[in-house]
Amino acid sequence: MSTAILTLNNIGKFFETEELETHALKSINLTINQGDYVAISGPSGCGKSTLLSIMGLLDVSSSGEYYIEGVNVTDLSLDQAADVRNAKIGFIFQSFNLIDELSVFDNVALPLRYHADKPNSATIKKRVIECLEKVGLSHRISHKPNQLSGGQQQRVAIARALVANPAVLLVDEPTGNLDSKSADQVMEVLDQLNKAGTTICMVTHDPRYADMARTKVQLLDGAILQAPSIKIAS
């Protein structure tokens, strides 16, 4: 039986202004299991990124409950959420979000600097090199992000997401800022990671890359339209 990594029960998100209440997400129920490769797609403004933010504890839901590896993380404090993000979640952003002033090594090592176990330098180095090898960039370890191509920067971002051994990779439009060749390379890396057992949840509006996922979730107006092969939490 597959282990549930992420479980969302009736997750809703709405934004209030003085005159208006906008529902970005409406009662989302979703479970992502160990080893899944899920693509969330939908038109612009359908709530994909909002859903990913809540799943990554970057944002809080307005209603519902959210579990990571069976633990309720709905109402964590900011610091507790930071610990969970560090230990359980790896992020990959559309615009890479690498820190220009840090080298590739330091960018990748960054999550370990905030890790509760405070790993020593040797451990950090070993782990960073392992991750960079996985994405084929160990030879660029001393470079600065601006010395790399867009595709290489995104692969560094993937290495950074992997370095703390997260339970799941949350990927937001990973190819949005890349040319098609670089995009293909990044998607190939993600595919290989999933095949090696990494759980991935990816937001994309590109149907070609959504098809590469094992499972597709279609969002429209903040609600799940279609999730044919994954379990919808009851």
Partner 1 sequence: MSSFTYQLKQAFLSLKKKPGFVFSVISTMGITLGALLCVLTLAYSMLIKPLPYPEPDRLHKVISQNFYETGELKYEAFNYPSLINLYKNQTIFNDSALIFYGKDVISSLPNQPSTTIGYVTPEWFNLLGSEFVLGRGFEKTEAINTHNPVTIISYQTWLNEFAKDPEILSQNITIQGKSFRIVGVLSEAFIEPLIYYPGYNTYLWLPWDFNEATFLNDRWEASHPSYAFVGKLKKDITPQQAEQNITPLVNNLWQENVAGMSEQKGVYLNMQLKSFSDVIVGDSQTRLWLLLAGVFSLVLIASSNMMNLFVSRTAEQQRELCIRAAVGAKKADLYKTILVETGLLMGFSAIIALVVASLGFIFFKQNLTQFLPRVEELSLNYFTLLSALLLSFLLSVLFAQISVRTVNYRALNSTLQTSGKGTGIQVSKRLRSRLITSQVAIAMILIFFSISLYKHTTDIIDAELGFNVDKLSHLSLSVSSSVPPTPEETTDILSDIKTRLLQHQAVMKVSQSGTLLRGWAGYGIWLEGTEQPFSVEGISIDENYFSMINQSFISGDNFTAADIDDENLLLVINDKFAQALAPDGSAIGKKLNFGNEDIYTVVGVVKGVTMPTDKKISMRIYYIDRGFPSYIIQLKNNQALSRSQAADLVKEVSSKYTVYEFYDDLSAAVDERLIIQKVTTLTAASLAVITMFLAALGLYGVLSYSTKMRRFEIGTRMAIGAKGKDIISWNIKENGSAVLKGMVISLVVMLLLVFGFSEQLNQYVSLQLLPLLLLSFALISVLSMLTCYLPLRRFINRPVIHALKGNE
Which residues form the interface with partner 1 (CB under 8 A)? Answer: 53, 56-60, 78-79, 82-83, 85-87, 90-91, 93-95, 97-99, 101, 110-111, 114-115, 160-161, 164, 177
What's the maximum distance between 2 C-alpha atoms anywhere in the chain? 56
Distances (CA, A) of 39 to 115, 187, 213, 226: 28, 12, 6, 11
Nearer residue to partner 1 within complex by CB, 88 or 134: 88
For residues 100 and 146, the answer to whether their CB atoms sit within 8 Å is yes
β-pair partners for 8: 30, 66
Nearer residue to partner 1 within complex by CB, 60 or 129: 60
- Tokens 């905030």 locate to 114
**CB 52 to partner 1: min, Å:** 10
**CB 101 to partner 1: min, Å:** 7
**CB 131 to partner 1: min, Å:** 13
Nearer residue to partner 1 within complex by CB, 88 or 140: 88
**CB 228 to partner 1: min, Å:** 29
Half-sphere exposure of 167 (CA within 13 A, CB side): 20
**CB 32 to partner 1: min, Å:** 19
Closest by alpha carbon to 97, among 172, 23, 37, 45? 172
Nearer residue to partner 1 within complex by CB, 98 or 137: 98
Nearer residue to partner 1 within complex by CB, 36 or 106: 106
For residues 145 and 156, the answer to whether their CB atoms sit within 8 Å is yes
